[in-house]
Amino acid sequence: MEEDNVIQGYRAILNRKKIGLGVMVFIRVTIDSHSEIEAKKFEQEVSELENVVSCYSIGGDADFLLQVVSHDLDSYADFAMSVIRRLPGIKEMQSMFVLKEIKPLVSYPVAKINSFLD
């Protein structure tokens, strides 16, 4: 499975709260321009931000969905206003705060993995 690039790596799963990241936020971002150049510029800058733990290009009424972690609400507010708001092409952003993690991502369903590899 490693040779077929099904397994892309091995990692430890950390308890974010125990390492001081008590706040998790999803941010819906809409950008001004939908040119490929502007989108790539946004993607590149977001990829370099440590507090952004995942970023997805999405369909619907927003363009991107960012998952962000922070120490506390004050540090998130500083990060959102001084970093995220300053990213190229930001037209609108909406923060959605995680109140409780019910089923965080730890792996993908693998029940049909054998049929995939056949």
Structure tokens at 74: 């004050």
CA 15 – CA 104 distance, rounded (Å): 11
pLDDT of 118 reads: 57
Instruction: Band the pLDDT of 6: cuts 50, 70, 90.
Output: confident
Residue 20 has pLDDT above 80, yes or no: yes
For 9-20, letters b (16+ CB in 10 Å) and e give eeeeeeebeeee
Express each pLDDT in 68-100 by its tens digit.
Answer: 999 999 999 999 999 999 998 899 999 999 999
Percentage of residues in the chain having pLDDT higher than 90: 66
Q: Helix, strand, or coil here: 43?
A: helix
CA 73 – CA 85 distance, rounded (Å): 16
Residue range 59-65: mean pLDDT, rounded: 94
pLDDT of 116 reads: 58
Residue 108 has pLDDT above 80, yes or no: no
